[in-house]
Amino acid sequence: MNLLKQYKNYIFDLYGTLVDINTNESKPYLWKKVSELYAYHGAIYTPAEFKKSYLRLCSAHTDALRAKSGAEYPENQLEYVFMDLFSEKGIEVSMETVREIGLAFRSISTKFLCLYDGVIDLLDSIHAADRKAYLLSNAQEMFTKHEMIALGIYDKFDGIVFSSDEGLCKPEERFFRTVVERYDLNISECIMIGNDANTDIRGANLIGMDSLYIHSDISPKITDLSGADIPSTYKIMNGDFSKVKQLVL
């Protein structure tokens, strides 16, 4: 089936769909090194205290956003959590410093980061066919933008929407409508491509958008590996990203 005859706009999830990633925020080394970075600026935490305060502030920021926006699925900006960790110790720093520490936090916690085979070829092929590619990602702009630059795909999209910038995340219906309205898209000409049935596929269904589910190595577990329970328009159940191109070209 040649989906390019049907769709003009391809809206991609990032992690688990285009990018294979493994992060570990539970390892003690992470909290030790980041608390050391804070100490360099005069904010003294033990690693255990830093972790506890970080998790508390993440929860507080999310609760505040939910109360303010009424969103069922709010998303905070981690740079403000990192800033508050300085403020609680009476230390003033610039947002630039906070964002650099955020990048360090992400780098230390990341075990590996790479593109799935065929991602760049697919994005280039979509544009060669005079179609457009967009990104709709539950992600923190603070470090995701830099990861995309490092992987060579940041400039491959006609539009990018990060959850941290919007205060909303998938499957929030308003988050999906953001990409549609911001780039003046016709929903009937769009397809959502993602690896999470609850966030990517459910969210697309909420606004009547077709979807392609790809079951990757970091997709949430499903009970039926045939994909029969996943309400997507199309499915790739073996994680073979090259099959996405076979469907759309």
Do residues 233 and 50 touch, judged by C-beta distance below 8 A?
Answer: no
pTM of the model: 0.94
Q: What is the CA radius of gyration of the chain?
A: 19
Residues linked to residue 114 through DSSP beta bridges, in sequence order: 20
Polymer length of the chain: 249
Q: For residue 6, what pLDDT is reported?
A: 79
- In angstroms, rounded to a whole number, what is the distance separating the alpha carbons of residues 166 and 169? 8
**160-189 residue pLDDT tens:** 999 999 999 999 999 999 999 999 999 999
Which tens digit of pLDDT belongs to each residue from 26-69? 999 999 999 999 999 999 999 999 999 999 999 999 999 999 99
pLDDT of residue 228: 84
What pLDDT is recorded for position 2? Answer: 57
Residue of 166, 155, 225 lying closest to 197 (CA atoms): 225
Those residues with Cβ within 8 angstroms of residue 217's Cβ, 6 or more apart along the chain or in another chain = 16, 20, 239
Distance CA 12, CA 17 (A): 7
Average predicted confidence (pLDDT) for the chain:
95
Res 49: pLDDT: 98
pLDDT over 90 (residue 246): no
The pLDDT value recorded for residue 5 is: 58
Percent of the chain at pLDDT > 70 equals: 98
Nearest-CA neighbor of 19 among 143, 127, 128? 143
pLDDT classification of 226: cutoffs 50, 70, 90: confident
CATH 3.40.50.1000 applies to domain 3-18+116-248? yes
pLDDT beyond 80 at 190: yes
For 94-114, what is the mean pLDDT?
A: 97
Helices (H), 88-212: 95-109, 119-128, 141-151, 163-166, 173-182, 202-206
- Which pLDDT score is estimated for 249? 63
- pLDDT exceeds 90 at position 248: no
